[in-house]
Amino acid sequence: MAYHLLQRDQEGARRLADSLDYALQHVRHCEKCNNFTEEVVCELCSSQRRDPALLCVVEMPADLLMMEQAHCYKGMYFVLMGRLSPLDGIGPREINLDRLLKRARDNMVKEVILATNFTVEGEATAHYIGEMLQNEGLKITRIARGLPVGGELEHVDSGTLAQAVLERREVK
Ligand SMILES: [Zn+2]
């Protein structure tokens, strides 16, 4: 892409560079959901129309976007910005699990929905979070497997994803 822009679209390259520069200076992580935002607390977390009793844990911002596009969910989110992957040196600290624990303990959350991907790392991450939260007095659910094994939320059609959320099951 860099070669293409330099050779054929220098104006586009300039705009892209400006956008990235702007993002680097202004974009931060929401204090509540950890997603990218320009505010301290993002628009979604500030909304009065969301159900504060539901907290859905996803791996990446794109997964949150997919969930929103599926129109199946009206609760809150926590974005891990990754998944557990010991071989790559990504442990609980790298994906902010201490912040998730703190978030789940806000006395409003009643159910934590684990919506990590159905990959080996995603499943391991869901399992770890389930264990971490098991004594917090919360209902812990996992989205159902309408999704293909090895599947990533980002690549699933919204109907399938909506079904998986509706058919989520209790894991603890
Ligand atoms: Zn937020």
Question: How far does the centroid of ligand 1 lie from the alpha carbon of residue 34, in Å?
Answer: 6
Phi-psi region at 81: left, alpha or beta (left = phi > 0; alpha = psi -120 to 50): left
- Identify residue 6 by its one-letter amino acid code: L
Predicted pLDDT at 154: 80
**What span, in angstroms and rounded, lies between the C-alpha atoms of 52 and 57?**
13
Cα–ligand 1 centroid distance for 79 (angstroms): 9
Question: Could you give the CA distance from residue 164 to residue 115 in angstroms, rounded to a whole number?
Answer: 9
Domain assignment present for 70 = yes
Q: What's the 139 CA to ligand 1 centre distance in angstroms?
A: 21
Question: Looking at residue 32, which CATH number applies to its domain?
Answer: 3.40.1360.10
In a domain, 32, yes or no: yes
Rounded to the nearest whole angstrom, what is the distance from the C-alpha of residue 8 to the centroid of ligand 1?
38
| 33 in a structural domain | yes
Q: What's the one-letter identity of residue 151?
A: G
Q: What does the alpha-carbon distance between residue 84 and residue 91 come to, in Å, rounded to a whole number? A: 5
Cα-to-centroid distance, 38 and ligand 1 (Å):
10
The residue segments making up the domain with residue 154 are 28-166
CA 125, CA 164: separation in Å to the nearest integer?
Answer: 18
What pLDDT is stored for residue 73 in this prediction? 92
Q: Name the pTM for this structure.
A: 0.82
Query: Does 73 map to a domain?
Result: yes
| Residue 103 included in any domain | yes
Which pLDDT belongs to residue 147? 65
Quote the CA–CA distance of 127 and 97 in Å, as a whole number. 13
Sites in the chain below the pLDDT cut of 50: none
The reply to whether 105 falls in a domain is yes
| Distance between Cα 50 and ligand 1 center (Å) | 11
- Specify if 86 maps to a domain: yes
**Predicted local confidence at residue 162, as pLDDT:** 81
Per-residue pLDDT tens over the stretch 97-145 = 999 999 999 999 999 999 999 888 999 999 999 999 999 999 999 988 7
Gap from CA of 102 to ligand 1 centroid (Å): 14
Number of domains composing the chain: 1
In a domain, 13, yes or no: no
